[in-house]
Amino acid sequence: MTAKHILSKLVFYILVLFVIVPVLFPLIWIFISSIKTQVDITAYPPKWIFNPTLQNYSRVFKEQNFLQFFYNSTLVGVTAVVFSLLLGLPAAYSIARYKQEKLGLLILVARLMPGIALLLPWYLLFSRLMLVDTYVALILSHMLIGLPIVVWIMTSFFASVPLEIEESARVDGATHQRTFIEIVLPVSTPGIVTSTTLAFLFSWNNFMFSQVLSMEKTKTLPIAVYNFVSYAEVDWGAVMAATVVIIAPAIILTMLFQKYVVRGLTMGAVKG
Amino acid sequence: MLESSFVDRHVKVLFPLPAVVFVALMMVFPVFYTFTISFTNWNLTSGLPPRFVGFKTYLSILQEPRFWAALVRTFYFTAFAVSVETLLGMIWALILNREFLGKNLVKMSLLLPMVSTPVAIGIAWTLFYEPTIGLANWVLRSTGLNPLKWIADKQLVIPSLVIVDIWQWTPMMALIMLAGLAGLSVEPYESAKVDGANGIQIFWRITLPMVSPVILTAVVLRSIDALKTYDIIYAMTNGGPGFSSETLNIYAYNLSFNYFRLGHASVVLFFLFVVVLILSYLVARLRQKLEE
């Protein structure tokens, strides 16, 4: 019995490896390449043993103004998420409580809308308003990423908050807005964490909007990483280091809020 | 005091109002603007002001082989990627659907590809696909197979891009299905065991029918995202070689920002919008069904 037991365990963990290795390997290889010299990266067959170096990282920060791009991405992401919450939380509450299905559909369309469909009119309008290459234009565009995520996640979250706890507050004479702020929001913290994390991640990773709406001054990280490839000869070491710099914050955030990210990403397909 | 009671009475309107105004300004208005431009022959390189031409631009797009090729390619990419992701995701979910040591670590690893910046990931995969020094060909050569040109090959470019999409999004399908499997009730399984059903019968007769609503919703949502794929294609091939990986998204971008044929671009964009509208309605209906 024990031998059979061990064997089945072994088979199971081998199957798990079949899932996990292809998922993780490309990311690990990106990291390994980022600490190789250009000679080692372009070596064939691929080198598994080599002298690690940090020169790629120093090139990323010295040759390009990466700290500035890092700051731009963070500023745009954080501000867009804050405003998405300010606009999205009350809207989601109202949609959930008063069953405003048409409003829900409007937000759903915003969530599913391909960015490219808005990019051209935005560019024409923002350039007329002299807002191209400003944080305002970028933040507004990233809010259209964040707001639908907040509303989408929070609507089903608010719908699951039992009406009784609100009603008892109402009986005590509290207004709707006070009930919302003092009773409903505190019990909805997990949902707020979920939508905040996801909205920030999607803003952080967005390439298309910054590609057109930002230039040298407000350039975000995805554009900066892409710029490394446009040189005549690709500096693979720097590209890989830049890739690590941009995905590391996303990965750390995901690790910190793992439970919430899983819930947010699987939401909409699975009930609750 | 008066103010707060005013808010209290009109909470239904005032709460969603800022969000609605924002969406109206940032989405509804731009879509109408695009719709207006689509009836013109606006072309920035001509230097002429836009002129109303009715449905002429629509007809000209419909006669453009590049549009039809991009349309077919977009659906080919989506169908290819989503079907593999669904199948593989189901298999992964079935493997992982039990308690074991390190399950949380596995779930965390599954999250990493989909939270990684697509444009950066696309660039990194370009190095994997590099014909002479890339890992992909190293694997082929070491297993005795012939090396391929991957994204530099007109026939192989879409499958190569699909592989990247599969890598990024199969984990999400697996996680969704895993959550779906975890929510199943145990009773049908117990009675099936009493009746002496084997594992394969149980899967086809009980598990699959019970998780199918979850799978269906996941497939629709993923398909919409796959139709919109832009970052990895732009970063890896920019629609090339030739136009062999030009999807509707890339085509619309080129029309807008490389050729400045704004009238034509608007027709394609409005078409995309209509497709999304239909799919959104589908998602809303599915979500209602799931909630019942």
pTM for this predicted structure: 0.91
pLDDT score, position A161? 86
> For residue B19, what pLDDT is reported?
93
Judged against a pLDDT cut of 50, whether residue B143 lies above it is answered with yes
Considering the four listed CATH numbers 3.40.50.720, 1.10.150.120, 3.40.50.460, 1.10.3720.10, the one that applies to the domain covering A64-266 is 1.10.3720.10
Question: In this complex, do B20 and A177 lie within 8 Å of one another by their Cβ atoms?
Answer: no
Query: How many helices and strands, by DSSP H and E, does chain A display?
Result: 15, 0
Distant-in-sequence, close-in-space partners of B197: CB < 8 Å, separation ≥ 6:
B205
Q: A58 CB near a chain B CB, below 8 Å?
A: no
- How many Å apart are CA B163 and CA B145, to the nearest integer? 18
Which one of B1, B5, B26, B99 makes the best mutation probe of the A interface by having the most chain A beta carbons within 10 Å?
B26
Does the structure show a pLDDT above 70 at A157? yes
pLDDT band at B166 (very low <50, low <70, confident <90, very high): very high
Does A103 reach chain B within 8 Å, measured CB to CB? yes
Task: Please determine, for residue B1, whether its predicted confidence score (pLDDT) is greater than 70.
Answer: no
Q: What is the DSSP string of B65-124?
A: HHHHHHHHHHHHHHHHHHHHHHHHHHHHHHHH-S--TTHHHHHHHHHHHHHS-HHHHHHH
The pLDDT > 90 percentage for chain A reads 42
What is the average pLDDT value for chain B, to the nearest integer? 88
> Would you state the pLDDT for residue A231?
63
Q: Is the peptide bond before B50 cis (omega within 30 degrees of 0)?
A: no
Q: Cα separation of B153 and B160, whole Å?
A: 9
Query: Would you say residue B136 has pLDDT above 80?
Result: yes
> What share of chain A in percent tops pLDDT 70?
96
The domain ranges of chain A are: 16-53, 64-266
Domains of chain B are 48-291 (1.10.3720.10)
* Interchain CB contacts (distance < 8 Å): A and B: 284
The token duo for A214 is: 């930002």
> Which of B109, B114, B121 is the closest to A24 by Cβ?
B109
Mean pLDDT value across residues B9-36: 89
For residues A181 and A192, the answer to whether their CB atoms sit within 8 Å is no
The neighbour count for residue A61, using CB atoms within 10 Å, is: 14
Do residues A225 and A239 lie in contact, with contact meaning Cβ atoms separated by under 8 Å? yes
Binning pLDDT at 50, 70 and 90, where does residue B207 land?
confident
B163 in A contact zone (CB under 8 Å): no
Whether the predicted pLDDT of A207 surpasses 50: yes
- pLDDT of amino acid B182: 84
Q: What is the pLDDT of residue A1?
A: 61
Residue A123: its chain B contacts at CB < 8 A?
256-257
Backbone phi and psi for residue B109, each to the nearest 5 degrees, phi listed first: -60, -35
